[in-house]
Amino acid sequence: MSSQIYKYRKSYKIHKIIVVIASTMSLICQGEPNPNIQYYGYDWLDSDNVEQNYASITATGANNTNLNIVHSISSLNSTACLNDQCAVNISAGEENYHGRLDICFSARNNRECQSKNSWKNIWHIVEDIKSATNRPKAIYFLDEPSADPALQDNGVYVKWQYASYVCTLRQALSAYELSDIPIFTILIYRKTVPAVINEIRHQMAQPSCIGVKSTPDWVGIDNYYWRYDSSRDDSTTIHETYRRYFSDNSSLKWVIVPPSTQEPSLNPPVINDQDLHDRIQVYWNYLNNYPQDPIIAIMNFRFDKNILDPSTIDNFPKSRAILKFMGNMLTP
């Protein structure tokens, strides 16, 4: 290796270190974040090898994650989920692969979902959770219910369908002595349906749901276009959106969902490190600017090897720095 190449590479590495330090220091100077936060983690930790992905987080710095999302009992039983470190996702209408937990595999609408014994399947899934080696910290139940075809007929959401499934899930959890496990969902900002918002906030009539709540414990919103840069700061918009949708139910806790490079529907897509950093930074600003908001968890969208794997250390240094800082600052 020539001395010029060596000097260039050394200079390049020093530059990367300076970028990370500068990003971290700028965060520290902003003060203490929202004190209500208890959990931090990544969705789809089991996108491939769950234990290797968990090790990757540790390999790139301290790993204080305590709410990583997995999608099967085998993943929940892994060492990545020891000591209640994972939440488990239950879906509706997804394809049957890798042991994924789903109440009605491949159902194209609500009628098909129910014909596949969705109600009984909820009970079977809870039975499997009860028998699992590791206990989940929470249950991520039916992602984006307002946009889920398995909860729709003729392309229209069936009112009270999500609430009725939550009710059944709670009844099953109670029967298996798991009623203390919180339930949460994430709504998609551009496809919010008033009926679903109403069900998130309000209990079903008693004859329809007896003895348990039909509402989730936590709720979040997907919107990967919120950002912070020299021309805009959407932290106030985040605050106002959550309050508009959820403040009617004071018992609801909120989940925020920063993006990653793995969101294929972003238009425009993530173009570089600075772009992704700005889309994550706005959430940090929000946490600092509105410490009174009932944020209980940060669930980053998808475990992202482009950011967190040691082999990609040069790809997204600013984004990596802010994610690692947030996780280590917000959890014990």
Summarised one tens digit per residue, pLDDT across range 245-261 is 999 999 999 999 998 88
Q: Is residue 9 part of a domain?
A: no
Count of domains for the chain:
1
CA pair distance 230, 289, nearest whole angstrom: 17
Which residue type does 300 have? N
Q: Is residue 24 part of a domain?
A: no
What pLDDT sits at residue 116?
Answer: 98
CB 262 within 8 A of CB 304: yes
Q: Does residue 217 register a pLDDT over 90? A: yes
CB 235 within 8 A of CB 228: yes
Lowest mean pLDDT among 55-59, 121-125, 126-130, 284-288: 55-59
Pairing mode, if any, of strands 218-222 and 228-229? unpaired
What pLDDT sits at residue 332?
Answer: 64
Task: For residue 301, give every residue at least 6 positions away whose Cβ sits within 8 Å of its Cβ, in sequence order, or none.
Answer: 43, 222, 224, 257, 258, 259, 260, 262, 263
Pairing mode, if any, of strands 86-90 and 68-70? parallel
What pLDDT sits at residue 306?
Answer: 85
Q: Is residue 128 part of a domain?
A: yes
Q: Is residue 173 part of a domain?
A: yes
In degrees and rounded to multiples of 5, residue 91 shows phi and psi of -110, 180
User: For residue 153, with 0-12 CB atoms within 10 Å meaning exposed, 13-18 middle and 19 or more buried, which class applies?
Assistant: middle
120 token code pair? 């009984």
For residue 286, which of 7, 9, 33 has the smallest C-alpha distance?
A: 33
Task: For residue 269, give every residue at least 6 positions away whose Cβ sits within 8 Å of its Cβ, in sequence order, or none.
Answer: none
For residue 318, which of 306, 300, 332, 331 has the smallest C-alpha distance?
A: 306
Domain CATH for 125: 3.20.20.80
Q: Which domain holds residue 136?
A: 31-330
CA pair distance 65, 261, nearest whole angstrom: 19
CA pair distance 101, 122, nearest whole angstrom: 9
What pLDDT sits at residue 7?
Answer: 44
30-to-11, 26, 34, 257, 316 alpha-carbon distances in Å: 29, 7, 12, 20, 22
Residue 80's SS3 state is: helix
pTM of the complete model beyond 0.85: yes
Q: Is residue 207 part of a domain?
A: yes
CB 163 within 8 A of CB 109: no
Q: Is residue 238 part of a domain?
A: yes
Helix (H) or strand (E) holding 113: helix 110-115
Mean pLDDT of the chain: 89
Residue 93's SS3 state is: coil
Ordered alpha helix ranges (H), 132-272: 161-175, 194-201, 235-246
Instruction: Name the more confident of 22 and 274.
Output: 274
What pLDDT sits at residue 143?
Answer: 94
- Per the rule left: phi > 0, alpha: psi between -120 and 50, beta: everything else, 163 is alpha
Instruction: Name the more confident of 257 and 207.
Output: 257
Q: Is residue 19 part of a domain?
A: no
Task: For residue 56, give every residue at least 6 positions away whose Cβ sits within 8 Å of its Cβ, in sequence order, or none.
Answer: 305, 308, 309, 310
Q: Is residue 13 part of a domain?
A: no
